[in-house]
Amino acid sequence: MQKKYWIFVILAVLALFIISSVNSIPKLDEKVTASWSQVENQYQRRMDLIPNLVKTVKGYAAHEKSTFEEVTNARANATKVTIDASNLNDPAAIAKFEQAQGQLSSALSKLLAVSENYPNLKADQNFLALQSQLEGTENRIAVARMDYIQAVQQYNTTIRTFPGLIWARIYGAQVKPNFTATSGAEKAPDVQF
């Protein structure tokens, strides 16, 4: 009776080993698929994020540029229009002077509103944020690629070594291609403003 017990235990352990081995290939195959989906997800994130960030930075930089140009032009115009004591009785000269000063005041008010309401929202900060987002996105892509490469390595190793080799032949599992960089990938992407 003890021999039957040991045979049963050995068969049970063998059955568990077989079931575990058989299930490992589909699990690893799914891991490869999920890892690649994450690579694609990060590429999609980059495609969605970067153009919008560039537009935001461009828009804000243009807003700041126009505000500073307005201040510079208003200041230049205000210094061109002068009034001296002899012209204080000339309503047209005073109106022209006040108009030039009003334009400068208006431009300065706009500049002050920008700096008071958005003290940290400056184009240089936006460029730094864009740079940070670009770096972060590229790092996420690199991590996703690394995870995919590791998943493919584990899958390919399993189906090419014993006992996975047996189950791979039964399943018809094929070696998965690993990630390869596209031509020109060694060059950094060019961001245009």
The whole-angstrom separation of Cα 31 and Cα 37 is 10
Reported as a single tens digit per residue, the pLDDT across 91-133 is 677 667 667 776 766 666 666 565 555 555 556 677 677 778 8
Question: Is 10 part of a structural domain of the chain?
Answer: no
Q: Are 35 and 144 in contact (CB under 8 A)?
A: yes
How many structural domains compose the chain?
A: 1
Question: Is 115 part of a structural domain of the chain?
Answer: yes
Question: Is 68 part of a structural domain of the chain?
Answer: yes
Reported as a single tens digit per residue, the pLDDT across 135-193 is 888 888 889 989 999 999 999 999 998 888 888 888 888 888 877 776 766 666 665 55
DSSP letters, 64-97, are HHHHHHHHHHHHHHHHH----GGGTT-HHHHHHH
Question: Is 126 part of a structural domain of the chain?
Answer: yes
Single pTM value for the model: 0.59
Q: Which tokens belong to 163?
A: 């006992």
Residue 120 sits in which domain range? 51-137
Question: Is 150 part of a structural domain of the chain?
Answer: no
Question: Is 81 part of a structural domain of the chain?
Answer: yes
Reported as a single tens digit per residue, the pLDDT across 50-60 is 677 767 767 77
Question: Is 116 part of a structural domain of the chain?
Answer: yes
- pLDDT score recorded for residue 153: 93
Question: Is 25 part of a structural domain of the chain?
Answer: no
The whole-angstrom separation of Cα 104 and Cα 111 is 10
